[in-house]
Homo-oligomer: A and B are copies of this chain.
Amino acid sequence: MATRRLGLILSGVTGRIGVNQHLGNAVANFRETPITLANGDQLELDPILVGRNANKLEQIARRFNIERWTTDLDAALSNQDDTVFFDSALTGVRFENVRRALTAGKHVLCDKPLAPTHAEAVGLARLAADLRLKNGVMMANIWLPGMRKLKTLVDSGFFDRVMRIRGEHGYWVFEGNLRPGQRPSWNYRREEGGGIVLDMMCHWHYMLEPLFGRIRRVTCAARTFAPKRWDESGQPYEATADDSGAVICEVESGAIAQIDLSWCTRVRRDDLMVMQVDGSGGSAVTGIFDCLTQHATQTPSLVWNAEDRTATDYRAAWLPVPDLPPIGNAFKVHWELFLRHVCDDTPFPWDFSMAARGIELAEACYRSSANYTWETLAETS
């Protein structure tokens, strides 16, 4: 059995997600159980860790039996035998890391967000296209069991004409005084890349457009409802980033998508994230794992009655889409598709271009919120 070596530069995989997901669930996993390529070859991944903290790198390298590590990114990029670059470093340095990798001729996969601005993201997309380099961004929510079920509904024509979409995402994130916050404090500091609208609208973009079509216009009211929070060490700080956002998107089909984002809400719904889709043919409500449906023919004929308390449980008239065969860890799936895209040129739609479009949507949200406007998105990215 022939093998094909692929030299992999892994930049900044030292955080919790980097180590557990990208290394543990994806790269290390593929070294143990290699991918078989189209021609039957086994793909042999040969990673090199790049980072700033030598101690940490050494420790992680040892844990995952990785022979190579370095704190010198340029040296790593200059090695012609390593052709794929992955970046999971801090948001602030990603644009520059990715730019250097592309310039050095590497195919690039990276975490979201691709770049701090739409313009810079578009620049990277063009650079990659010009250099004919493969490129991709992690878009993990696509592989949520609930989202996969929703996609089968869309693909099967269940909804007929999609009219309305409502997304809700969030839960109460404690301020950190009486009870620790469940999210890192940088999420609430604009200057460190925080903000629920920036974080989540990138996700909602890739969850919505591939299923329902391009977003034409958007308006948003982003707000900071909890202005004071306490950080990981118990120190108070001013929250400068938005913790809530009310968004209305107009899709080119005419459908309207309302997205309600908040870390200042209390959850009375099926899941921490929920998407309801109303079509002429039926409706669905999708969470992280489950997707419930009510077909047009199953729709109860309800009437307003303010005088008699009915015992009707409106939640009873919904049926779950049965579980799909598991595909395993989302990071592993996404990595495998990208590696096949690199080696076998199979399609990989979640590229820099789509990521740039997500950042465009988030930027339009902030612009519209600041100016009380509706923003029109570009026809082509």
User: What residues of chain A have their CB less than 8 Å away from a CB belonging to chain B?
Assistant: 140-141, 144-145, 152-153, 155-156, 158, 163-164, 166, 171-172, 174, 178-180, 182, 217, 219, 221, 223, 225-226, 244, 246, 248, 250, 254, 256, 258, 260, 262, 264-273, 276, 278, 280, 282-283, 285, 288-289, 292-307, 309, 314-315, 317-325, 329-330, 372-374
Contacts and interface: CB of A to CB of B under 8 A. Distances in A.
B297 A260 contact: no
Contact of A221 (B179, B256, B276, B318): B256
Contacts of A329: 307
B248 A268 contact: no
A322 B293 contact: no
15 contacts: A156-B297, A158-B297, A174-B301, A179-B301, A182-B303, A221-B250, A221-B256, A226-B280, A267-B302, A268-B283, A269-B269, A282-B295, A295-B295, A298-B319, A306-B330
Contact of A265 (B244, B283, B296): B283
A240 B172 CA distance: 41
B172 A299 contact: yes
Nearest to A303: B182
A181 B5 CA distance: 35
Given A299-B322, A373-B373, 6 more contacts: A156-B297, A158-B295, A164-B264, A221-B250, A288-B306, A293-B295
A268 B315 contact: yes
A56 B265 CA distance: 52
A155 B226 CA distance: 18
Given A182-B301, A225-B163, A262-B164, A318 B268 contact: yes
A251 to B, nearest CB: 11
A216 to B, nearest CB: 10
A316 to B, nearest CB: 9
B144 A306 contact: yes
A20 B302 CA distance: 20
A172 to B, nearest CB: 5
A38 to B, nearest CB: 13
Given A250-B221, A314-B271, A320 B301 contact: no
A265 B246 contact: no
Contacts of A178: 152, 155-156
B221 A248 contact: yes
A164 B185 CA distance: 22
